[in-house]
Amino acid sequence: MKPLTWETLNWTVLDRLRETFLAAEPGAGVYWTSLEDVANYDFTYAQRIGWKWDAVLNELKRRGWRPSGGVVLDWGCGSGIASRCVLHAFGVDKFTGLNVADHSGHAVQFAARAAQAAFPNLPVSTGLGEGRIGTLVISHVLNELDESGGRALREAIDRADSILWVEPGTYADSRSLIRMREALRPDFHVIAPCTHQAACGMMIPENERHWCHHFAEPPSGIMADSDWVRFAQRAGIDLRSLPYSFVALERRGVRADVPGLPDAGWARVIGEPRVYKGYARALCCDAAGVCELELQKRDAPDVFKAMKHGDSPQFLRGEHDGKRFSALHEARQITVDLRD
């Protein structure tokens, strides 16, 4: 199959896929009818998912976390964009092989071929494999997961040393991912996005309206690219808005010294701050829970300016009473690397 270009895209396929994705019914069945379907998806929709994965993987690297090695399993692989991002980010030499699995044979075939082309020296297999999984990659599956799929996914989780899981930044998907975090927390260290190992503060009744989500940046120049602009208009999507939810976990006992565990005292900014004249409010999560904290411009003018210009730090360290920062000692922005 020849590589796609913007001139050879099949817009009829893309329109049909868009309608299928919008329906998002659990257990709706296989929606890839051919390799052409997967190729058109990989060239367009999957790239936006890749940008979200880039943001997550950049954060993990800057936190100091690296996989322990072993085999990567891309569960529900689709076109395989997620596992290719993982292999690019951490280096193919870190892993002993890649397995791609999906309920669609077309997806598995495409993902395997794409991985072999990108990483010719890496053993690539299809199916779930057997034995330990070094890194389990899960991407955008929750809104399609039925009871049978949930059981199959749990079997893969039980074999995994680490889990990298990215979902759309919707309320429903975020809430489902939080419940998975809570179920897995006894057996896994929480690497990210949390700054602590405690129960998720979103789970208390007072925070029921909130959800844990973040925003990725598209590569520079996308908004000036006429092909991407045309695609966005046809698909009805905003290229500038890339909300996502994620969790990164490492099984307890895999390594004596777990890299990337967050330092105490940091609060994670959730979503985007709301900026007003002279102050800003940000939903923040730390070991004490989730609360909206006010930051006065006079107390941290540089941080306030960054928030105002849409470049909010992801982490804040300071003293607060659950309503307002009385002192802000540090701010950190760590996901600045972008795929070209």
Distance CA 300, CA 303 (A): 5
- Residues 266-272 have a mean pLDDT of 93
Domain shared by 105 and 158, yes or no = yes
Question: How many domains does the chain contain in total?
Answer: 2
Q: Are residues 152 and 106 in the same domain?
A: yes
Q: How far apart are alpha carbons 14 and 47 in whole angstroms?
A: 14
CA dist., res. 65 & res. 160, Å (int): 16
Question: Is position 2 within any domain?
Answer: no
In-domain check, residue 102: yes
Residue 335 has pLDDT above 90, yes or no: no
Q: Cα–Cα distance between 323 and 317 in angstroms, integer?
A: 14
The confidence band for 144, taking pLDDT boundaries of 50, 70 and 90, is: confident
Determine, yes or no, domain membership for 6: no
Q: Please report whether residue 321 resides in a domain.
A: yes
pLDDT at 336 over 50: no
Q: Among 225, 251, 277, where does a domain finish?
A: 251
Give tens-digit pLDDT for 38-47: 999 999 999 9
Range of the structural domain that residue 284 is part of: 266-332
Same domain, yes or no: 298 and 196: no
Distance of CA 294 to the CA centre of its chain: 27
Alpha helices by DSSP H, 136-248: 147-157, 171-184, 226-235
Backbone phi and psi for residue 298, each to the nearest 5 degrees, phi listed first:
-65, -25
**Strand 315-320, strand 289-296: pairing:** unpaired
pLDDT tens per residue, range 17-31? 888 776 655 555 677
pLDDT at 311: 86
| pLDDT mean over 314-337 | 83
- pLDDT (average), residues 262-285: 92
Residue 333: pLDDT band by 50, 70, 90 thresholds?
confident
Sign of CA dihedral 81, 47, 90, 75: negative
What pLDDT, on the 0 to 100 scale, is given for residue 29? 60
| 167 shares its domain with 314 | no
For residue 289, count other CB atoms closer than 10 A to its CB.
18
Tell me the range of 16-20, 25-29, 199-203, 324-328 where mean pLDDT is highest.
Answer: 199-203
Residues 194 and 283 in one domain: no
Torsional class of 6: left (φ above 0), alpha (ψ -120 to 50), beta (otherwise): alpha
pLDDT of residue 262: 79
Cβ-in-10-Å burial (0-12, 13-18, 19+) of 2 comes to exposed
Same domain? For 285 and 320 the reply is: yes
Does the structure show a pLDDT above 70 at 234? yes
Q: Residues 224, 272: one domain?
A: no
Is position 258 within any domain? no
pTM, 2 dp: 0.94
- CATH number reported for the structural domain that contains residue 16 in this entry: 3.40.50.150
Co-location of 73 and 191 in the same domain: yes
Element (H, E) at 268: strand 266-276
The residue out of 220, 251, 282 marking a domain boundary is 251
Domain boundary among 194, 226, 251: 251
